[in-house]
Amino acid sequence: MTSPSEEQADRAVRQRQLGRALLWALPLAVIVGMGIWIPTDIALCGVSGCSGGGFGVSWNPVGGVIGLGVSGAIVALPLVLIRWTANRALRWVIAAATGLIFALAGWIYLVPAAALR
């Protein structure tokens, strides 16, 4: 039988190992999320760009919001699924904030680029 201090030590080691999983899972999620920005840009302005390339103005903000929402959710997913802290509410709050910031960064990156076309 193990003592409570040994169980706490084992729990701390497992927690650190799960925290290390974020070192590869989060960058991978960011790369996949940024990869979604390409079809989101096409959904936002079409293949010819927002000016339409002679075919009239094309602007679909709903497609952009959906694509950026999906990319933000993908970035937030490792923060929720990997148990890097025992506090579940903290994981959800940090994941939601990270996903929202990532989606907003995508909007800031894509919309001015779309307006310049």
Domain residue spans of the chain:
4-115
Q: What is the mean pLDDT of residues 17-30?
A: 88
Q: How far, in Å, CA of 102 to CA of 5, rounded?
A: 40
pTM of the model: 0.79
Tell me how far the alpha carbon of residue 10 is from its chain's centroid: 31
What's the count of helices (H) and strands (E) in the chain, helices before strands?
Answer: 3, 0
Contact (CB, 8 A) for 50 and 114: yes
**Where residue 11 falls among pLDDT bands split at 50, 70, 90?**
confident
pLDDT digits (tens, 9 = 90+) for 67-98: 999 999 999 999 999 988 889 999 999 999 99
